[in-house]
Amino acid sequence: MKKLFTITIFILLSSSFAMAATINLVFNGGGGEFGR
């Protein structure tokens, strides 16, 4: 049960990171830092 929870957290983190990277790519043209 705990392993399933860990996998779920990992998937959420990786998907949110991928979304942030995509947004960063769109707004900065692939350059700059996150959140700028």
User: How high is the pLDDT of residue 6?
Assistant: 95
User: How high is the pLDDT of residue 9?
Assistant: 94
Which residues lie closer than 8 Å to 36 by C-beta, 6 or more apart? Answer: 28
pTM: predicted TM-score of the whole model, two decimal places: 0.51
Question: What residue type is 5 in one-letter code?
Answer: F
Sequence spans of domains, the chain: 1-27
pLDDT tens for the chain, residues 1 to 36: 899 999 999 999 999 999 988 888 787 765 555 555
User: How high is the pLDDT of residue 26?
Assistant: 80
User: How high is the pLDDT of residue 19?
Assistant: 92
5 to 1, 26, 35: CA distances (angstroms): 6, 32, 28
